[in-house]
């Protein structure tokens, strides 16, 4: 131990000072699996709607149909998970009392209010074959909103005081976009023979690679604050997600658009990888709020660097064990 002020005795074996090791922040009240499910199914829905439009344009009508049905189903589950997570679910509609750009949840609620019914109508039309033109119009409108539906949740989790979420705000939208694309493509690969889901195979690889790249950049830039993404329960989830995701990429490539079994395995692992990574991000955020060091140490370093020379007796910036 370096010679520090005697006050260090209060928090033994910690490289920073705190109040009895208590967290500074409240752990998010958001529950699991509600919130990971809200993120995963929202991403799946948004990317599926976009995929449906693209697939329809290029003549992959079965893939378009699968994507439309997926989007309608997934957004229903996502909305249900969100409502179930509220402390007072009966007041869900209070979300539409105000329109606030400072609140990603407000913006998201308005987006879902517009997108949800369109994605639902598009799915119902795809399943029943009724009102095909109206269904296609709804699918096109939902497809235009899909990318925003898949990515706004990144701003939602990052616009918090939770260190592992907030500090990741630069990379998280790209990670969410990639994760959503991989999941939507994965459903296509699961549902259809590979020769009828060629665009899904391409999107699967692009999405998974984008997600993993964003994750690497995030971990490198955040340094010590990224620790929760690598250790403990969230670390295990993130590792599992990475293995699933990369297995999906490998299987997609190996299937070469011909092997039905390999292609389906690829689809399943990609979907699972996306879902598990949402759980990992959720748990990493909670862990970073629970441990005061992720709140105190970076802030202390920042404050001490600003207040140079340090006040007599203060812990210097380079002595906070960071």
| Residues 39-68 interacting with other proteins (rule: CB under 8 A) | 46-47, 50-51, 53-55, 57-60
For residue 73, give every residue at least 6 positions away whose Cβ sits within 8 Å of its Cβ, in sequence order, or none: 123
* Shortest spacing between CB 305 and other proteins, in angstroms: 10
How far is Cα 26 from Cα 289, in angstroms, rounded to an integer? 7
| Binding flag, residue 213, other proteins (CB under 8 A) | no
Residue 243 is a binding residue for other proteins (CB under 8 A) = no
Find all residues with CB under 8 Å of 57, minimum gap 6, and list them.
Answer: none
* Chosen residue from 80, 105, 140, 240 binding other proteins by CB under 8 A: 105
Q: Does 147 bind other proteins (CB under 8 A)?
A: yes
Q: List the one residue from 138, 177, 189, 226 that touches other proteins (CB under 8 A).
A: 177
Please tell me the distance from the alpha carbon of residue 192 to that of residue 198, in angstroms, as a whole number: 10
Alpha helices in the chain (DSSP H): 34-57, 61-85, 104-128, 132-158, 163-166, 172-191, 198-222, 232-255, 260-290, 292-306
> Considering the rule CB under 8 A, would residue 84 count as an interface residue with other proteins?
no
Interface stretch with other proteins, choices 70-78, 94-102, 112-120, 131-139 (CB under 8 A): 94-102
187 neighbors 271 (Cβ within 8 angstroms)? yes
Q: Does 230 bind other proteins (CB under 8 A)?
A: no
How far apart CA 96 and CA 30 sit, in angstroms, is 20
| Residue whose CB is less far from other proteins, 137 or 217 | 217
Regarding 169 and contact with other proteins (CB under 8 A), the answer is yes
Among 15, 23, 33, 321, binds other proteins (CB under 8 A): 23
Contact 51, 63 (CB under 8 A): yes
- Note whether 30 binds other proteins by CB under 8 A: yes
- What is the smallest separation between the CB atom of 207 and other proteins, expressed in angstroms? 7
Binding flag, residue 2, other proteins (CB under 8 A):
no
Whole-angstrom Cα distance, residue 192 to residue 60? 11
The answer to whether 294 contacts other proteins (rule: CB under 8 A) is no
């Amino acid at each position: 131990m370096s010679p520090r002020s005697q006050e260090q005795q209060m928090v033994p074996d910690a490289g920073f000072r705190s109040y009895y090791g208590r967290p500074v922040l409240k752990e998010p009240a958001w529950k699991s699996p509600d919130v990971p499910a809200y993120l995963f199914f929202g991403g799946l829905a948004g990317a599926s709607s976009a995929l449906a439009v693209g697939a329809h344009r290029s003549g992959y009508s079965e893939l378009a149909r699968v994507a439309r049905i997926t989007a309608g189903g997934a957004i229903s589950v996502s909305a249900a998970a969100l409502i179930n997570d509220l402390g007072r679910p009966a007041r869900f509609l209070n979300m539409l009392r105000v329109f606030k750009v400072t609140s990603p949840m407000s913006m998201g609620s308005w987006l879902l209010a517009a997108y949800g019914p369109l994605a639902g109508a598009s799915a119902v039309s795809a399943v029943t074959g009724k009102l095909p033109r109206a269904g296609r119009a709804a699918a096109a409108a939902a497809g235009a909103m899909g990318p925003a539906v898949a990515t706004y949740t990144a701003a939602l989790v990052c616009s918090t005081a939770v260190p592992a979420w907030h500090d990741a705000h630069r990379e998280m939208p790209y990670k969410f976009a990639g994760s959503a694309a991989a999941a939507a493509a994965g459903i296509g690969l699961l549902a259809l023979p590979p020769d009828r889901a060629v665009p899904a195979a391409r999107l699967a690889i692009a999405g998974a690679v984008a997600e993993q790249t964003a994750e690497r950049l995030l971990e490198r830039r955040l340094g010590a604050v990224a620790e929760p993404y690598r250790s403990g329960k969230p670390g295990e989830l993130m590792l599992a997600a990475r293995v699933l995701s990369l297995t999906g990429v490998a299987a997609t490539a190996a299937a070469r658009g011909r092997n039905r079994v390999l292609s389906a395995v690829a689809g399943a692992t990609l979907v699972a990888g996306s879902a598990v990574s949402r759980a990992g991000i959720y748990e990493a955020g909670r862990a970073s709020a629970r441990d005061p060091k992720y709140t105190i140490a970076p802030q202390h370093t920042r404050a001490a660097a600003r207040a140079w020379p340090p006040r007599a007796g203060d812990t210097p910036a380079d002595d906070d064990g960071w």
